[in-house]
Copies of this chain bind each other. A is one copy, B any other.
Amino acid sequence: MSSIEQLATPALLLDLDVLERNLARMAERADALGVRLRPHAKTHKCPQVADLQRKNGAAGITVSTLREAEVFADHGFDDITWAFPVILSRVDEALALARRIDLGLLIDSRVALEALAARHDGSGSLRVWLKVDCGYHRAGMAPDSAELVALATDVAATVGIEFAGILTHSGHAYDAADRGAIRAVAEQERTVMVEAAARIRAAGVDVPDVSVGSTPAMSAVESLDGVTEARPGNYAFFDHMQCVLGSCEPVDVAVSVLTSVVSRMPDHSVVDAGALAMSKDPGPENGAGMGPVYDEERPGHLHPSLQLASVSQEHGIVNRPLAVGTRLRIMPNHSCLTVACFDEYHVVRGGTVVDRWKIWRGR
């Protein structure tokens, strides 16, 4: 136990009070919407956070890389979905993991199913999801295509593989102009998925689960009828992007980067939080450069004019000349990428550092 004041910088702070509140709220929301919660652990990459999510009713977790899946398996998580189209050169690693835990894999092509079927010896527990494009158009099968029904039929018929259902991600919710538009994206996601499931079922194939997920959509959606599972991730921490989208308020953002002024120039300061601490995520278009700065006088509120204006590799530029040694807290534009810059969280309650939790990076 020590004070934040004593921490060397740069440091990634995780506010445990805020985290606990965020997890409890999303658990209530999933309950109210009648869906199971399978949080995306790519945001935090941390077994301690996933454990809190489990205590808040999470039914399994989602990951974005095989390395994350392995780390969480090593920490006692036995029901994991790798929600990224399976990488053909990683199939053997994935199948090995499926012999240790209940593993869900994601595909949107026949090539991927054939690669799985060819290498799978039938041992272990392997569920295969079909990725459906609900309108984001990044990846996934067209929801009204004959290929979707045909591939679902073939997955279900493959010996040793269980057809898990259909899965999508409404990433276009991040491009929505306002809350109404986000709500419309969420409703579109639901409708598209429910209809796609109905088409597959009409072909005589059972669709056990219909999985959706993005933090903005989960914050705005009014109904998830016909959906069984949601996979938001960012909601655990939130960030500046989510504030601008209206998913949260600044007081709800659980992670921040503690930084120090190292150089005072005539019109700006240099701090020790550059691209290697914040990432180069540009954040929202109407945003505050590479990250807003918290107002130390008003905990949980942003400073009205200070901002991290730009970053290079290890240098950050704050838009005002401040005394060398001044300490600031910066809100990440995108917490998932900022977290991936660090090896550990300094876990805080109020001004006290109560723990250090390892961040398991890697792929």
A-side residues, CB < 8 A to B, are 7-10, 42, 64-65, 84-90, 93, 108-109, 111-112, 115, 131, 133, 137-140, 171, 260, 262-265, 270, 272, 275-277, 279-282, 312-315, 317, 323-325, 327, 336-337, 340, 343, 361-363
Contact = CB atoms under 8 A, between A and B. Distances in A.
Which 8 interchain pairs have the tightest Cβ spacing?
A85-B262, A280-B280, A139-B263, A111-B324, A64-B314, A88-B325, A85-B263, A8-B89
Contact of A313 (B42, B262, B324): B42
A153 to B, nearest CB: 19
Contacts of A361: 343
Nearest to A66: B8
A56 to B, nearest CB: 23
Nearest to A310: B138
Nearest to A344: B362
Most chain B CB neighbours (cut-off 10 Å) among A109, A115, A140, A272: A272
Given A109-B324, A337-B313, A87 B275 contact: no
Contact of A363 (B112, B115, B139, B277): B277
B272 A324 contact: no
B343 A89 contact: no
A109 B276 contact: no
Contact of A276 (B325, B327, B340): B340
Copies of this chain, complex-wide, total 2
A235 to B, nearest CB: 15
A263 B109 contact: yes
A135 to B, nearest CB: 13
Contacts of A337: 275-276, 280, 313
A85 B88 CA distance: 46
A265 B139 CA distance: 6
Contacts of A108: 263
Given A276-B363, A325-B88, A315 B138 contact: yes
Contact of A260 (B88, B140, B272, B280): B88
A65 B111 contact: no
A260 B42 contact: no
B42 A314 contact: yes
21 contacts: A8-B90, A8-B93, A9-B87, A42-B314, A84-B272, A84-B315, A88-B262, A88-B324, A109-B264, A109-B324, A133-B265, A137-B265, A138-B312, A138-B315, A139-B270, A139-B315, A275-B281, A280-B281, A280-B337, A313-B337, A314-B363
Given A138-B270, A279-B279, A281-B275, A87 B363 contact: no
Contact of A336 (B264, B313, B336, B363): B313
Nearest to A10: B363
